[in-house]
Structure 1
Amino acid sequence: MNSLKREAALRIMNMLLLALTSCLIRFDSQTKVLFYTYKKTATFHVLDALYVLVWIDVAAAVYNFLQLITSYKMQRFATNRYLAWGIFLLDQAAAYTVFSATAAAVQGSMIAITGEKSFQWMKLCNRFTRFCFQIGGALICGYAATVLMVITASISAYSLFRFYSPKRFLVLKHK
C-alpha cells in the first residue's frame, strides 16, 4: 500500500469520525419534566463549546474531503514543494483547530458533570444522564479523529521535507 492510498484511507477515516462526532453532538437531546409542569431540554446549544465543535468538525470533514479529491487530481504536481508547504500548513491548522475545539468542549463538559459552586452552576449530568453519556462518546470520537489528523499531518510533513537535504537545514536536494 503506497503512501497516497494510506493518506486517502486516513482522510476517509477522519471524515467518518468527524461526521460521527458532529452528528452525535448535534442530534443529541434529552427532555425532563421538572416540578411536574416545567420541561427542560438539554441540547448542544446548552454549551457554546459544543456548538462551536459541531461547526469545526464539519469544516474539518469538508477539508479532508476536498484534500482527498485534490490529491488524486494533482498527482502530477507531487514534485511541487510550494504545494507541499500549503498542504502541510493546512493539515497542521486543521489538526490543531479540531484538537483545541475538542479540548474546550471537554472542559465545558466537565463543568456540566461537576458543577461550580462559586458561580452557583448546578450539575447538569445528574438530571440528563443519557445526554451526557452520548456527548462523552462523541468527544471520544473527536479525540480519535484528532489523533488520525495528527498522523495525516505527519504524512504531509514527510511529503514536504523529502524535498530538502538531510545534511543541511532547509536546503533543496540536488537532482
Structure 2
Amino acid sequence: MDLGSPKIEAVLRLCAILLLVLVACLVGLDSQTKSLVYLEKTVTYKDLKALQALVYVNSVAACYNLIQLISRGSFLARYKGSFKSSYRYVDWGCYLLDQTAVYITFAATSAALEHSVLVVTGAEAMQWMKWCNKFTRFCDQIGGALICSYIACAFMGFISSISALNLFRLYSPKHFLLLKTN
C-alpha cells in the first residue's frame, strides 16, 4: 500500500479532526464548582489562558483539516493522483500549512501542559494554590484532553509527512529541486 495514498491521508485527517474537536469540547465544556469555606469557587478553562489558547488553536486546526479533507478530496479526484508539475504550488501550500498546523497545535498543547503542571504542583513563591487537590474532576478531564491533543498532533505529523512525500515526488532525485520531466 502506498503511504502517499489519498485514502490514508483522508483517514488520518478524519482521526485528527475527531480528536481536535474532542479536545476543544473536553476543555471548553469542563468546569467544576466547590464550596471553599464561605464561598463557592467555579473553575473553567477561562481561568487559565493557556487552556483558552488550546481551545482556540484546536478549533482552528480542526477546521483547517476539515477544509483540507474536503478540498484535497475533490482536488485529487480531478487529477486522479497523476502528479503534474502545474500542481506543485498547491502541494507546496498544503505542505507548509500542514507543517504550520502541527507546530502551532503542538506548541499550544505544550503550553497548556506546562500551565497545568503549575496548577497541579502549585507555586508558593507566586502564591498559587494547588487546584487539583480541590478540583480533581476538572484536572482529570484536562489531563485526558491533553493526551488526546498530543495524539492529534501525532496524526497531523503523519499527515505532514504524507504532504512532504507528495510534494517531493514531483522533483527529480538526481537534480536538487528540479521538476521531473516525465
Please state how far the C-alpha of 1:163 moved relative to its aligned partner.
0.6
Secondary structure of residue in 1 paired with 2:177: coil
Secondary structure of residue in 2 paired with 1:165: coil
Q: Distance in 1 between matches of 2:40 and 2:99?
A: 43
Q: Which residue of the partner structure matches residue 103 of structure 2?
A: 96
Please state how far the C-alpha of 1:46 moved relative to its aligned partner.
1.1
Runs of 4+ with >2 A deviation: 76-79
Please state how far the C-alpha of 1:168 moved relative to its aligned partner.
2.1
Aligned residues: percent identity? 52
Q: Distance in 2 between matches of 1:147 and 1:25?
A: 19
**Unaligned ranges ≥5, structure 1:** none
Corresponding residue pairs, total: 174
Please state how far the C-alpha of 1:120 moved relative to its aligned partner.
1.3
Q: Which residue of the partner structure matches residue 31 of structure 2?
A: 29
Q: Which residue of the partner structure matches residue 139 of structure 1?
A: 146
The match for 2:120 among 108, 113, 118 is 113
Q: Distance in 1 between matches of 2:40 and 2:112?
A: 25
Asked whether 1:8 is paired with 2:15, we answer: no
Q: Which residue of the partner structure matches residue 164 of structure 1?
A: 171
Asked whether 1:152 is paired with 2:159, we answer: yes
Q: Distance in 2 between matches of 1:118 and 1:50?
A: 22
Q: Distance in 2 between matches of 1:8 and 1:134?
A: 28
Matched letter for residue 175 of structure 2: R
Matched letter for residue 46 of structure 1: D
Please state how far the C-alpha of 1:72 moved relative to its aligned partner.
1.8
What TM-score, normalized by structure 2, do the two folds share? 0.93
Q: Which residue of the partner structure matches residue 42 of structure 1?
A: 43
Secondary structure of residue in 2 paired with 1:84: helix
Please state how far the C-alpha of 1:113 moved relative to its aligned partner.
0.3
Asked whether 1:127 is paired with 2:134, we answer: yes
Secondary structure of residue in 2 paired with 1:131: helix
